[in-house]
Each structure stands twice: as C-alpha cells, then as structure tokens.
Structure 1
C-alpha cells in the first residue's frame, strides 16, 4: 500500500507517518517545505504541495501509484486562510483523487464541522467534508471517510501544550465556569483508527465523530494533565469568559477567538460509530496519558510555555527603552559627555546617538512583531555595543550599577527568546 499524507508535518500527520512507517507501509509526505518536512518525518519521500494554490491538475501527477490519501492539513490560528486550506485546497485534492483512481480518502476534519457549525474553522471544514461526500455518496468508485476528532491529546499537540501549561501554573486556572465539556482522544488512538480504516477490506463511505470514551469538563482535563505531569494539586483561580475573550482579541495568548468559541461549545459525541467502523476502543484520558509517562522535559515545556511571550515582551521592553530614553528623557549634555568618552563629538556624536536609538527601537518593534531572528539580531548589536564600550570605557566594568555586567543577563534572555522562537518554527 502506498499512502500519501497531506499535512504530514503537523501534529497528527507526524504521528501518523511514524506509525505507518513502523507498520511497513510505503509513505509519501506532502507539505509546503519538503526539505523541512524531511527533517520532521525522517525516512520517507517528501513532495511539495500548497493547498492555498494547488488545483486538481497539480495533484494528478502526485497521485500516480497512490492507493490512499489522508488529509491531515489544518490551521487553528490563521483564519484568513481557512477558506483556501480547509475548503478550496481540500476540494481540489478530492477532485483529483476521484479522477486519479485513488482507492480511499481519509479526511481529518473536526468535531463540530456539521449542520450546527458557526465558526469559520468549522464552516470551512464542513464545506470540504460535504464536497468529498458528494463526489461519490455511496463510495462506489472511491471509498471515503470523514473523521471528526474532538480534542486530540498527545505530545506535540496544541491542546496538550495549552492544558499542560495551565496545569503547571502555581494556581490552576478555571476557564470560564470550568464546566465547558470536551471528550478528548489520544493521538495514538486517532492514528490507530486511521490505520485500521486504511487497511479495512470492506467499502466505507461515512462521517465519524472521533472521541474518547467519556466526556469531561475543562477543569477535569486540566486536573488530568496535572496528575500526568506529576504535580500536586493546588488552588484554582477563575478566569472569567470576558477576560479570555479580551486576551484572544489582543492576540497575546495561545487561544484564538475561533478556538475559544469552539471550546465553549459542547465538544462531545458518541464513541460507538468509531468502534463499529474500526473495532478500536479508545482509552480514557488518564489511561492514554499513563502509556507515555511525563518526563522532566515535559514538565519544563509546560512551565516554559506561559513564559515564552513574557520573555519576548521583556526583551522588547529593554530595546525600546534603549531607543526612547536617550532621545526623550536623558539630558543632551549627559548623552554627549558619555559619547565624548568614546571619542565621538559634534556631528559624529549626534549621528551615533540617533542611529543607535533607531536601531534599538527597530529591534524592539521587531520582537513585538514576532519577526524571526529578531532576538538573534539583537544579540549581534548588543555584542557590538559591548565591545565598543569595553574598549573605550573599560572603567564601566567596575560600575556599581553594573552598566556592562548586566549585558550578560540580557544575553541570556535574548538566547532564551531565540531558542523558543526556533522551537516554534
């Protein structure tokens, strides 16, 4: 069997590719950056695709010799591309699958992408699901199945990262009233279900909700994650809905307006259709988590996640202050006296003062805009400043306020921000 996995670099896609390879299945992984994808899913062929641009004809050559296609592509933050990636791009893929003679298509959709869909995320997924089902309603020429998972938990997933971070805080946050309901399924069970559907010897044409065996509140989910991390229970603190909404509007947290709306909805379903179609009985969340015990690295990641944006803001504040303070608050005489110690006077001093301030502001704004390598650029500039000052004003090393020594702490902060942004990809 030759399986083409779209969105292979994503959370579900990576786990699926790994499991398929372990089962001896021939896999081709598709994504926008094949070179980077090859690093994420080692040992399989990779090809380039772009659901925002590709049409059916683009897919036909890629589908030669492919027996089954699994579409795992999905966005959670970039609402502006939902209509192209989830809907238009997926429809072009499905059209090509039917025309190219692909035997089976598995579409990984989302719980809530049904007649009651209200968010742009769910509506875009539902439109693609409807198109796939409408191509061959009875699956006479091409088997198809739409899987609609609830919260998918597992290492590398955004839901796990979010609730792991909440669980690791000194006080456990209660989202809203704490009674929003979800029915999480572990990624291992989702992948096992997909694998069974790919190997199924009977035709299938169905939409299946993919949920765990039991609904639970967001409070219970957070508590399960805290137990998995091996942390003792702590007091809770309520985060009212209006506060969560304000955070999503400001874009300063991992939760978006779309994901908050989906979280508020009743994310539950029936597990029986999945069991009937695959014979797989999903594990409860605590049992599924226990299969892969938490490590020190898991606890560290959970504790660092809430700090990542804070570290970036703090570093940006340092650079913005470096640009604003000399121009707006420090007396001109003080600035020029300091620059004179570095051998700069007159026009040269003014040029250096303005250029340095503008450069500091640019780095600060780049950090706030989350531009890649902004922290790395700041490190280079700071080392340059330090070298010049150390050479021209070595006495500052002994300054009681640590004018130069404090740069070591800023260096550490900048390195941390750079590493965190690199891990985010």
Structure 2
C-alpha cells in the first residue's frame, strides 16, 4: 500500500511513519522538506498550497497542523485568522487532492478537544454532539466535517480523536514530560494535574488499523476515540520516582468528587477496541518510565 503522510517530521507523524514502514507500506512524506529516512519518498506540500499536487497513492494520513512550535491548543498565537484559514481550508484542499490522486481512503488525526473541556467527569462518545470551546477544537472539528463531505463512492474517511500523546518520538530524545521530569528532579514544586493519555505507538497502531479495514464494509465515514490512561501527575511522578530511585515531594493528587468534578471527560474506546485495537495500558507506561531511568 502506498500511503501519503503529512506531518511526518512532527511528534505524532514520527510514530505513524515508523509503524507504516514496519507494516511494509510504501510511504511518501508530504511537507516542506524531506524526512531523515532514505526509505521514505518526498513530495513538496504546504497546507497553504492553493491547489496541492499529490502523487498517485492508495491512502492519505493527515497529521499536519500549522501552529506555534510546541503548542496545539493555543497554537494560534497572535494570528488566529491564519491558524484557522490555513488549517481548515488547507485540510479541505488536501482531502480533495488526495481523492483526485486516486486515494481510496483518508485518515485524519483529530483531537478530544472537539468535545470541549466543559464535560468534567463524563464519558465522551463518538455519537455525542461536538461542542469545542477552543479554536484548536473548532479547527479539528472543521477538518472532520471537510473530510466527511467528500466521503462516498470509492472514497472513505476515518477520524481518530486522539487524547494527549506520550512517549519518545522516533528520532528524538525529548518527550512531552521532559521538562516536567526535570522540574521534579530539581525538587521544584509541580502543580497538580490529571489528564488522559495514549502512547504514540498505540495511536500509530490505530492509524494502521484504519488502513487495514475492508473498504467495502460499513459506513464511508467513521469516527473513533483514541485514549488509554486517566493519569494523575501524582501517580505519574510516584511511578517515575520509584523507577529512578529518587526521593522528592510529590504533587498533591487531584480531588475528584463522586459526581466526577475535577476529572476530565474520558473518551469511550469500545468502538475502536471492537476492531481489535488493544492499547498498552499501565504496562506500556511503566516500560516508558524505565526507559527514562
């Protein structure tokens, strides 16, 4: 299978690229510059391109996002208009170009931000009404709808609403918790926080699973939640300190009431699990922490 991949040099794209290559796919990275892997072809692409010119392929995986480096939510910085227009219109033009290039399917990396942050302690289902309360969430939801509008006939689309992604991206040494771990090692106070997480390899596995689905079965457009752990920084740093043998003060646990207040909404993943997806859970988190010792 020949797969076009945007965002291949980004953190999520690196996990996806490694998985696609391991599965024997032929991968062409779409971007401003080639990736540092001679086995990956390159085709120049920018989300701002008015008419993207894509090579013929079987599928598209869209991970790219124009944003301020290191930020997703709030990544619009001081230019929300450009953030919105390039990401929304650019994604729509990309999906249209992929269909013209012969792609039979597209996988779009969306976000749990489409649900909004107002649903504390609730279970979030793919069938729920999306009510984003950030520009990032609005942009991701618009991308989903742009893909859905093109699906039908010989072209199918899958949306993966991913939660926070942890793990060391292939080819890099740092990760999302590098600064947090360094702050903790120095003995500085760490503010409490609780959130949902999934390892990058598990997210990449979900992408690969989408590409393996029977294109003749089911709806031409599908949405799947991708999440694994509800993780309190208190527990994360307790495990980390135990793994590396470090005695430091832990942040206080986040207080969660019986009604769920204090905890984020947790995405249901039954739909994805029914297709055979099985995330690594606490075992994969422990393996990651051991790799940081």
TM-score by length of 2: 0.77
Q: What is the RMSD computed on CA atoms of the aligned residues?
A: 2.5
Q: Which runs of 5+ in 2 are unaligned?
A: 116-129, 253-261
Confirm whether residue 184 of structure 1 aligns to residue 197 of structure 2. yes
Is the 1:30–1:46 Cα contact (8 Å) retained in structure 2? yes
Corresponding residue for 1:275? 273
Deviations 1:371-422 (A, max 9, x none): xxxxxxxxxxxxxxxxxxxxxxxxxxxxxxxxxxxxxxxxxxxxxxxxxxxx
Q: Secondary structure at the match of 1:159?
A: coil
Shift of 1:93: 0.4
Is the 1:70–1:105 Cα contact (8 Å) retained in structure 2? yes
Report the structure number with the largest CA radius of gyration. Answer: 1
Q: Secondary structure at the match of 1:183?
A: strand
Q: Secondary structure at the match of 1:116?
A: coil
Corresponding residue for 2:286? 290
Corresponding residue for 1:131? 146
Q: Which runs of 5+ in 1 are unaligned?
A: 239-263, 300-425
Counterparts of 1:171 and 1:282, CA distance in 2: 32
Q: Decide which of 160, 176, 185 is 2:177's aligned counterpart.
A: 160
1:84-123 map, 5 Å: 84-114=85-115, 115-123=130-138
Corresponding residue for 1:234? 248
Aligned residues: 253
Q: Kindly tell me: are residues 123 and 19 of structure 1, through their superposed partners in 2, closer, same or farther at Cα, counting changes over 3 Å?
A: same
Shift of 1:122: 1.2
Deviations 1:288-343 (A, max 9, x none): 13345645xx46xxxxxxxxxxxxxxxxxxxxxxxxxxxxxxxxxxxxxxxxxxxx
Is the 2:196–2:264 Cα contact (8 Å) retained in structure 1? no
Q: Kindly tell me: are residues 124 and 132 of structure 1, through their superposed partners in 2, closer, same or farther at Cα, counting changes over 3 Å?
A: same
Is the 1:109–1:146 Cα contact (8 Å) retained in structure 2? yes
1:19-418 map, 5 Å: 19-34=19-34, 37=35, 39=36, 41-51=37-47, 53-55=48-50, 57-59=51-53, 62-64=54-56, 66-74=57-65, 75=67, 76=71, 78-79=75-76, 80=79, 81-114=82-115, 115-136=130-151, 139-156=152-169, 158-174=175-191, 178=192, 180-202=193-215, 203=217, 204-212=220-228, 214-227=229-242, 230-236=244-250, 266=264, 268-276=266-274, 278-284=275-281, 286-292=282-288, 294-295=290-291, 298=292
Q: Kindly tell me: are residues 98 and 292 of structure 1, through their superposed partners in 2, closer, same or farther at Cα, counting changes over 3 Å?
A: same
Shift of 1:267: 5.1
TM-score by length of 1: 0.54
Counterparts of 2:263 and 2:45, CA distance in 1: 33
Q: Kindly tell me: are residues 223 and 267 of structure 1, through their superposed partners in 2, closer, same or farther at Cα, counting changes over 3 Å?
A: farther
Q: Would you tell me which structure has more helix in proportion to its own residues?
A: 1
Counterparts of 1:109 and 1:226, CA distance in 2: 33
Q: Would you tell me which structure has more strand in proportion to its own residues?
A: 2
Shift of 1:183: 1.8
Counterparts of 2:161 and 2:233, CA distance in 1: 20
Deviates more, 1:86-95 or 1:195-204: 195-204
Counterparts of 2:238 and 2:163, CA distance in 1: 18
Q: Kindly tell me: are residues 95 and 111 of structure 1, through their superposed partners in 2, closer, same or farther at Cα, counting changes over 3 Å?
A: same
Q: Secondary structure at the match of 2:61?
A: strand
Q: Tell me: higher relative CO, structure 1 or 2? Use CA pairs within 8 A at least 6 residues apart.
A: 2
